[in-house]
Chains A and B, each alone.
Chain A
Amino acid sequence: MACRRLAGAIGILLAMGWMQTAAGASGVSSKAIRLEISPRLCTLAARDKQCDVVVHASWSAPREESLCLVLLGRPQIKRCWEDYASGRYTLRLEFAQDLTFQLRDPSLRNVLASEVLRVLREALQYRHRRRQPWNIFD
């Protein structure tokens, strides 16, 4: 019985060691990597169809990292840093729906930090505009 417990404990320790090694192999630790975006909210008024804002994204880490900033669902937007402890990225965006910013490792597989820029619409009621194909200027 004691032998079984000892073997189990050794197994757990070995597994933990393997996991630590695997995380180290990726070269990036997600601990304490901070991502901030500004603004975090875009409010659309009645007449606004979409947000048009300059977004500042910044990140910081306790040690130098190699990582990439991406927008979820927009693979063509990517900014990467190699061996940096912090970074900033500014871009002007037009968008109508929430945007998710993510920091990922260089392979883009692991998410290290994430922030969402939310779109808030003014609570309005809408109705159909009059259809008037008879009107010369419709």
Chain B
Amino acid sequence: MNTRTLSVLLMAAIGLLLVPGARAADDGAQTMRVLASEGEGQSTEAAASDKDAQGTNPAAEAAGDGKRDRDSCNAPSKDCVAVGHWNFSISIGAGVRTDPIVHEAAIPLVVIPHFSYYGKRIFIEDLDFGFTLLESDASTLSLIATPGYDRVFFDRSDPQNIFVSGLSYTTVDAPQLKSVPGGPRDWTYLAGPEWTFETHGITGQLDLLHEVTTRNHGNEVRAALGIPLIESKGALSANVGLTWKSSAIVRYYYGVPGAYEGGWALNPFVKLGYARPLSGKWRLTAFVHYEHLGNAIADSPIVNARYVLTVFAGATYAF
């Protein structure tokens, strides 16, 4: 990654950090809505004074008086989840993810399932597992295990391609990149501590990971900030972050024996996302995610792009 690109991304991140002050104040969520109404009066004389009757408009809405306490979990919400229950959702839409590996076509995004489970301490988020050591309203410290990310570009049957890229990717009848030199690039898992926090509406995540499936013994650092930009009926947010991969991981995935080894790589990313509740359990989801590949990856002879771009727009249904 060149210095100019990094400085631009850092400036963008700093600029985004200054934006939350402009967020719309919209904490007073609606707590009641009149959907339809009908009235009836029974009398032997005069008709009911309908001219005075209000609240009969099916679209009439009442402004709520319950300001949710953002720092406590006592009801289901975007940030809080019930302990001991499975959660399932599915995203359906249209999108694409570029694949930087030579001769490889872009990955279509159509159907993307998600599931999660939260116990008092443990949690499962798709293919991630975790055990929470400390949890407060503002921060959480957990031990997590998560799959190695890079394999998605090399093997279309990788489980991450179900939960990250969608079912359509796995059903495409495509070669398994046997022509790509190097390998084998097996399924790997990384494990280590994860610290997440929230302050002034900004969420943060820092993962310090080590490869524990003894394929490459590499290390990886994942760091990101989630910054809400606009919160009204819809929510616009920006995420900025980076992934640092040790030379062992870069070599394992992007190395070519006898031709290219590569060193450590730093991949910064920026994402702009929009979500809006639709009727019932549906919500609109759209995002653009740009990840810049570090020089050690981009310079590999099996890589023909310096970035990975992911775009998706669709609807998510929560069961």
Contacts and interface: CB of A to CB of B under 8 A. Distances in A.
Q: Do A and B come from one complex?
A: yes
Interface of A: 46-50, 52, 64, 66, 68, 71, 73-74, 76-97, 99, 121, 124-138
A71 to B, nearest CB: 8
Q: Which of B46, B49, B56: most chain A Cβ within 10 A?
A: B49
A130 B37 contact: no
Contacts of A127: 73, 80-81, 83, 118, 120, 132, 135
B107 to A, nearest CB: 12
Nearest to A94: B33
A130 B125 contact: yes
Task: Say which size band chain B's interface belongs to.
Answer: 35 or more
Interface string B267-293: 000010000000000000001010000
B27 to A, nearest CB: 14
B60 to A, nearest CB: 6
Nearest to B163: A137
Nearest to B91: A137
A92 B82 contact: no
A82 B73 contact: no
Given A124-B82, A136-B287, 16 more contacts: A76-B54, A76-B62, A80-B48, A91-B37, A91-B55, A93-B33, A125-B82, A125-B83, A126-B80, A127-B80, A127-B81, A128-B79, A130-B130, A133-B203, A133-B204, A135-B125
B305 interface: no
B42 interface: yes
B85 A78 contact: no
A14 to B, nearest CB: 35
B222 interface: yes
15 contacts: A47-B85, A49-B76, A87-B39, A91-B37, A92-B35, A93-B33, A93-B34, A124-B84, A125-B84, A129-B81, A130-B140, A131-B205, A131-B226, A133-B224, A138-B239
Contacts of B48: 80-82, 84, 87
B317 interface: no
Contacts of A78: 52-55
B37 A92 contact: yes
B32 A99 contact: yes
Contacts of B91: 137
A133 B31 CA distance: 28
A80 B40 CA distance: 10
Contacts of B46: 82-83
A41 to B, nearest CB: 16
Interface in B232-266: 239, 241, 243
A131 B142 CA distance: 11
A94 B35 contact: yes
Contacts of A74: 32, 55, 62
A85 B241 contact: no
A82 B49 contact: yes
B17 to A, nearest CB: 13
A16 B85 CA distance: 62
A84 B45 CA distance: 8
B42 A86 contact: yes
B62 A125 contact: no
Given A46-B76, A90-B39, A80 B226 contact: no
Contacts of B85: 46-47
Contacts of B43: 64, 81, 83-86
Contacts of A81: 41, 43, 48-49
B207 interface: yes
Nearest to A52: B35
B110 interface: no
A83 B196 contact: no
B40 A131 contact: no
B173 interface: no
A49 B53 CA distance: 29
A83 B48 CA distance: 8
Given A78-B53, A134-B241, A87 B41 contact: yes
A30 B79 CA distance: 47
A76 B112 CA distance: 42
